[in-house]
C-alpha cells in the first residue's frame, strides 16, 4: 500500500513537471509549481518526514507561489517564443540524466535498514536523543541541539537574503495620516473586497494561534521555529493581500521587522555566547541549567524562538518589498 502511494504520487509529480516544461503561460506555470510543492509535501509524509512535509507545504505551496505571482505582476504573464533551438539543452540533459541513472545502479536499495546512510550518526540520534536531550521529536533534537551550529548558519543565510532583497527592492514608506487628510475616503475606494476582508480578519487570530502552537509544540510533535515562522508570515501576507500594503505597513512597520529579523539571529547567537560564559562550548545547552536535560529544554525553546522570529520577519519584509514593486501606485494617489 505504502509502495503504491509512493509510486502514484511520484508519477503525478512527473506529470506536473512535464506540464511546467511545455507551458508558455507563466501564470499557469507558477500555479502548477504550487501543486508540485503540495505533491512533494505528500511524498514527504509517505516517506515519514512529517516535519519536512509541514515546511514544504507552508513554504513551497504558500510563500514561494505568492512571491512568484507578485513577480509576474511586473514581468508579464507570457513567455516569448524562443528562437533558440532546444536540441543542445536536450542533449546535455539526456547525457547527464543517463549518467546519473547509471550511478544509481551502485546505490543501495531504497528503504533497506542496513544502508550505510542509516549507520553513521543516525543510530545515536535515534537511540540516545530521547535521554540526552529529553524531547520526543528527534528532528528537533538534531536541528536545535546536535546540529545547532549548522542551523545557526542557515538562519544567518535567511537573514542575509533579506539584506539582499532590501538592497535590491525598496519598501515604500506609507503615507502618514497627517499628510493625507483624504485618506479615509480613498480607503473606501481601495477596499473592493469586503467579504474577503472580513474572512481574512476572522482567520488571522487562528493562523497566529496555530503558528504559536507549532512554535512551542515543536519539541513534542512535528513543528518548530522554521514552520512557525512561515505560518506566522502567512497571516500577515493574507492581511496585506486583502487590506492593501499601506494598512499592513501601518500594522507592522518595516523598521520593526528589520529589528526583529536581526534580533532573532541575536537571540540564537546570544544563547551560544551565554553557554560559553557559563563554561560550556558554543551552543552547548547542558550548562544552561543545573540539570543537563532541562538545560537542553531551555536552550532549544530559546533558539527555536529566535529562528521563528527571524524567519517570520524576513518573509513578511521580503513580501512587502515585492508588493511595493508589484503595486507601485496603490494608495499614493491620495
Least distance from another protein to the Cβ atom of residue 226, Å:
5
Let me know: does 331 contact 246? Beta carbons within 8 Å.
Answer: yes
Nearer to another protein, 9 or 302 (CB): 9
Nearer to another protein, 9 or 301 (CB): 9
Least distance from another protein to the Cβ atom of residue 162, Å:
7
Please state, in angstroms and rounded to a whole number, the distance separating the CA atoms of residues 26 and 139.
36
Nearer to another protein, 116 or 192 (CB): 116
Least distance from another protein to the Cβ atom of residue 243, Å:
22
Nearer to another protein, 52 or 180 (CB): 52
Residues in the chain: 334
Nearer to another protein, 124 or 333 (CB): 124
Let me know: does 274 contact 112? Beta carbons within 8 Å.
Answer: no
Residue 154, judged by CB atoms within 10 A of its CB (0-12, 13-18, 19+), counts as middle
Nearer to another protein, 34 or 180 (CB): 34
User: What is the DSSP-derived secondary structure letter of residue 145?
Assistant: I
Please state, in angstroms and rounded to a whole number, the distance separating the CA atoms of residues 30 and 141.
35
Least distance from another protein to the Cβ atom of residue 106, Å:
10
Least distance from another protein to the Cβ atom of residue 305, Å:
16
Please state, in angstroms and rounded to a whole number, the distance separating the CA atoms of residues 37 and 12.
12
Please state, in angstroms and rounded to a whole number, the distance separating the CA atoms of residues 317 and 255.
10
User: What is the DSSP-derived secondary structure letter of residue 146?
Assistant: I
Least distance from another protein to the Cβ atom of residue 278, Å:
26
Residue with cell 512527473: 14
Grouping H, G, I as helix, E, B as strand and the rest as coil, residue 81 is coil
Count of other CB atoms within 10 angstroms of residue 5: 13
Amino acid at each position: 500500500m505504502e509502495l503504491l502511494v509512493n509510486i502514484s504520487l511520484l508519477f503525478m509529480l512527473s506529470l506536473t513537471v512535464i506540464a511546467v516544461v511545455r507551458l508558455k503561460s507563466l501564470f499557469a506555470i507558477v500555479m502548477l509549481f504550487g501543486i508540485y510543492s503540495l505533491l512533494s509535501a505528500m511524498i514527504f509524509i509517505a516517506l515519514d518526514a512529517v516535519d519536512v512535509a509541514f515546511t514544504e507545504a507552508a513554504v513551497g505551496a504558500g510563500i514561494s507561489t505568492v512571491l512568484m505571482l507578485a513577480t509576474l505582476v511586473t514581468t508579464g504573464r507570457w513567455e516569448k517564443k524562443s528562437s533558440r533551438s532546444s536540441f543542445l539543452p536536450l542533449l546535455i540533459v539526456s547525457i547527464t540524466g543517463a549518467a546519473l541513472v547509471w550511478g544509481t545502479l551502485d546505490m543501495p536499495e531504497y528503504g533497506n535498514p542496513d544502508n550505510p546512510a542509516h549507520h553513521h550518526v543516525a543510530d545515536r540520534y535515534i537511540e540516545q536523543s530521547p535521554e540526552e536531550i529529553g524531547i520526543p521529536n528527534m528532528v528537533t533534537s538534531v536541528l536545535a541541539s546536535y546540529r545547532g551550529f549548522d542551523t545557526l548558519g542557515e538562519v544567518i543565510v535567511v537573514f542575509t537574503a533579506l539584506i539582499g532583497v532590501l538592497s535590491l527592492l525598496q519598501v515604500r514608506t506609507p503615507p502618514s495620516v497627517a499628510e493625507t487628510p483624504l485618506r479615509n475616503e480613498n480607503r473606501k475606494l481601495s477596499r473592493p473586497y469586503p467579504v474577503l476582508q472580513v474572512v481574512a480578519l476572522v482567520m488571522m487570530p487562528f493562523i497566529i494561534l496555530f503558528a504559536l502552537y507549532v512554535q512551542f509544540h515543536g519539541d513534542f510533535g512535528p513543528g518548530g521555529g522554521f514552520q512557525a515562522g512561515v505560518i506566522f508570515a502567512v497571516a500577515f501576507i493574507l492581511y496585506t493581500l486583502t487590506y492593501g500594503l499601506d494598512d499592513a505597513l501601518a500594522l507592522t512597520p518595516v523598521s520593526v521587522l528589520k529589528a526583529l529579523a536581526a534580533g532573532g539571529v541575536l537571540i540564537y547567537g546570544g544563547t551560544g555566547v551565554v553557554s560559553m560564559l557559563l563554561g560550556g562550548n558554543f551552543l552547548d545547552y547542558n550548562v544552561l541549567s543545573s540539570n543537563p536535560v532541562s538545560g537542553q529544554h531551555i536552550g532549544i525553546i530559546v533558539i527555536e524562538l529566535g529562528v521563528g522570529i527571524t524567519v517570520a520577519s524576513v518573509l513578511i519584509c521580503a513580501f512587502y518589498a515585492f508588493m511595493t514593486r508589484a503595486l507601485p501606485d496603490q494608495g499614493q494617489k491620495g
